[in-house]
Amino acid sequence: MKIFNAGMICLLILFAAVLSAETYEYEQFEQTYTISGDEPLMLIIDVDVGELRVHRSSADREVSVNAEYIPSHFRLDVDYREEKNRLKITLDKRSWHKWPRERDDECNRSPVDIELGLPAGATLILDTRMKAGELSMSLGGLRIQEFSLSFWAGEARVDFDQPNQITMDYMDIDAKVGEAVFRKMGNARFQTADINGGIGEISIDFTGDLLEDSRARVDLDIGEASILVPGDKGIRMSIGGGLGFLSQKNIDLDFYKHGRYYYSENYEGAKDRFSLRVTPGLGELTIDRD
């Protein structure tokens, strides 16, 4: 079942309130913060709306922040507390009743563009919250101890193209409305993961360097969901609860059901195992092995 892009519709509703015809200028913010000490850096990113890109920095102990925004409509606050080893980046919309009207010369320019470079040499506790817009996170090769993401509406993409350097204690992701793609999440090397999908389309790829005996829970509401699990791991999977009786399920033929669980054909002899619990929603669920 092909679901309409609910995230984009939500954005149109949000941004079509009362548009402003004023002339406006963009402001640039560029700053680099050197991380000292061995304690984990608490990095809090709280963005109301816009485009946000997060990737690995070229410097092992530096966080780079580059932002372009319209100060008459948005408020940017970057607060680094070295004594607490905490960096908080906040982008607030001054009023949701006013939105900068696009001019012909800036029709393809976002009113907010933020790019963050994260250090591979510092341990990170990463907490990201975004209300609406486009989010892209390439987090491979970092040292992430905990990762949480709350995304309300739009398009989100998270990619672990390389293994996390350390064990991730916990991953918590909540994607509410729109399109979400999570790629190579096994490379996050999490012990436990919770992923919640709201309304729209969601794709979750658990391939990569999964930890032995790691486990994940996926809770779905409404829409089209696809889940990819690694073919070289022994998989035990439960599917049920929620709106499961209203969902269409397409499960890879390599799984067999015994009791309340589905098992991959290599489960008994597998050295590395992965436990997955899926609560289906209203829509179509597809589960494949790599």
One-letter amino acid of 117? G
> What are the beta bridge partners of residue 203?
181, 226
Judge whether 253 lies within some domain.
Answer: no
Judge whether 201 lies within some domain.
Answer: yes
Judge whether 216 lies within some domain.
Answer: no
Q: Scanning the structure block, which residue is given the tokens 């250090």?
A: 119
Judge whether 169 lies within some domain.
Answer: yes
Each residue's pLDDT, cut to its tens digit, for the chain (290 residues) gives 444 454 454 554 444 433 344 556 899 999 999 998 889 999 999 999 999 999 999 999 999 999 999 999 999 999 999 999 999 999 999 876 555 555 444 445 778 999 999 999 999 999 999 999 999 999 999 999 999 999 999 999 999 999 999 999 999 999 999 999 999 999 999 999 999 999 999 999 999 999 998 999 999 999 999 999 999 999 999 998 866 677 899 999 999 999 999 999 999 988 899 999 999 999 999 999 99
Judge whether 226 lies within some domain.
Answer: no
Cα Rg of the chain (Å, integer): 20
- Say if strands 74-81 and 86-93 run parallel, antiparallel, or are unpaired: antiparallel
Q: Scanning the structure block, which residue is given the tokens 């991380």?
A: 35
pLDDT digits (tens, 9 = 90+) for 132-186: 999 999 999 999 999 999 999 999 999 999 999 999 999 999 999 999 999 999 9
Q: What is the dihedral of CA 71, 51, 186, 249, to 10 degrees?
A: 130
Q: How far apart are CA 145 and CA 230, in angstroms?
A: 23
Whole domain around residue 61: which residue ranges? 6-211
Total structural domains in the chain? 1
Judge whether 79 lies within some domain.
Answer: yes
Q: How many CA atoms lie within 13 A of 148 on its CB side?
A: 9
Look up the pTM and report it: 0.87
